[in-house]
Amino acid sequence: MSSSVAVYPGSFDPLTNGHVDIILRGAEVFDRLVVLIAVNRSKNALFDIEERISLINEVFADYPNITVDSFEGLLVDYLKDNSIPVIIRGLRAVSDFEYEFQMALMNRKINPHVETFFMAAGESYSYVSSRIVKEVFSLGACVEGLAPQPVIEAMRKKFGT
Ligand code: PNS
């Protein structure tokens, strides 16, 4: 019997509870969900790839159908190499739509066998992004409830707080 697999790609620098919400709901729809970290050497990252992999593995340790991987290069090449047909992306607000739609169409142009499935973000997380969580945390705000506990602990270590 064939099983359904999807990837949820992103930077995850770091994983937020908005991501966690999409991942858990995605993993109920698909038999297997790969959280796929994009290696982007031009971005100034807070966490390196190994740290991000380890944090995501820790958060989803109790979910055998959620796995983590990383890739460099084109997302559609990863999908082809791993025979995965579906990309999941979360939409927080209308402002996300233009960029996400452009990416979905470009990915389909490069590889017509790939489909992008959009999931509406949980309403409590519609304002949450990795960038804003890092920024407010670094300036001393409490981010409890916005990122998983292991991520908050790791940020405390990074920022020495
Ligand atoms: O979390 P992000 O930063 O919004 O994720 C964007 C990501 C990593 C999914 C996107 O930039 C991507 O797929 N990068 C890999 C390179 C690629 O395939 N680019 C073409 C996309 S049309």
pTM of the model: 0.97
Q: Show the tokens assigned to 109.
A: 């142009």
What was the pLDDT predicted at 160? Answer: 92
Determine which residue's CA is closest to atom 2 belonging to ligand 1.
10
For the question of residue 134 being annotated catalytic, the response is no
Give the CATH number for residue 143: 3.40.50.620
Confidence check: pLDDT of 75 > 80: yes
For the question of residue 19 being annotated catalytic, the response is yes
- Domain residues for the domain of 137 are 5-159
In 3D, which of 72, 145, 141, 81 has the Cα closest to residue 114? 81
Task: Choose, from 42, 52, 89, 92, the residue flagged as catalytic.
Answer: 92
Confidence check: pLDDT of 101 > 70: yes
What was the pLDDT predicted at 5? Answer: 98
Which residues contact ligand 1 via a Cβ below 6 A? Answer: 9-11, 38, 74-75, 103, 106-107
Based on the structure, what is the number of domains in the chain? 1
Confidence check: pLDDT of 17 > 90: yes
